[in-house]
Amino acid sequence: MNRIDAAFARLQAEGKRAFIPYIAAGVPGPDETVDLALLLAERGADVLELGYPFSDPMADGVVNQAAATRALENGVTDAAYFDMMRRIRAKSDIPLVVFSYLNPIARLGLRAFAEKAKAAGADGFLLVDMPVEEADEMLAICKELDLRFIFLAAPTTTPDRLAKILEQGSGFLYYISRTGITGEQSSFQQGFEEKLGAIKKASKIPVVVGFGVSTPEQVRAVCDLCDGAVVGSALVRRTLEDKPWASMRSELDALATALIAPAKEARA
């Protein structure tokens, strides 16, 4: 069984929800990325989204944009990215999702990138700017390689597009809590609960929520409504700070522990 599917099956059996962190590969450095990924897995993260840097991440806010720039400055190439993934996989069975924009993947070639990712230990892809209408080739490749392809759905997604996303997607559905870009927010968009409830009812795969989820209270609120929460900017912001890794790691450990706890509360 694909590790993503296995993780959600386990969580469902335990009555718990998924905690899915996003981190930027190569920030603050490759060794630190591997260490942070393993730390998150040890603290109870269920799936890890490993961000591949792109020079024009238009769906991201200032934090993730800065992280992408830093990663490129640090020399994160295909080879460096896959090396970090292999090193994580060598020490952990946490499901790994390639989180990227289409351009860097297409540059190497969809099949070539997917095959290298699979060999490095990847379990799925989330390509932010690949619409379901143009995903047939990538969907076929992922099916052949037993990789899951995760789509985004937004409050503005039309019923027809949502139906196709739910039909074609696998692993889990990533529901964006609000329109706009990534980043920490103090509240969810108006109508969020109603729209999420309708999507959850219609979906045959797990539904998780991200974009703006940044506090334990928000993780708990999301996990009361769906199958899990994605947290990115709140973690990534701290990897950009100018301080020794030991100090940064300690702060990330405390934050991750606090964020993960609400997802592990037993629910009916």
What is the set of active-site residues? 49, 60
- Are the beta carbons of 121 and 96 closer than 8 angstroms? yes
Task: Report d(CA 200, CA 198) in Å as an integer.
Answer: 5
3-state percent breakdown (helix, strand, coil) of the chain, nearest 5: 50, 15, 35
- Tell me which residue has tokens 């992280």: 67
- Return the number of other C-beta atoms located less than 10 Å from residue 129's C-beta: 15
Task: Report d(CA 111, CA 126) in Å as an integer.
Answer: 15
Q: What is the DSSP string of 141-164?
A: HHHHTT-EEPPEE-TT--HHHHHH
Instruction: Copy the structure tokens of residue 266.
Output: 């037993």
Q: Burial of 145 by CB count in 10 Å (0-12 exposed, 13-18 middle, 19+ buried)?
A: middle
Task: Give residue 121's identity as a one-letter amino acid code.
Answer: G
Residue 207 in 3-state DSSP? Answer: strand
Instruction: Copy the structure tokens of residue 53.
Output: 């840097």
- Name the residue among 163, 181, 182, 183 with its Cα closest to residue 173: 163
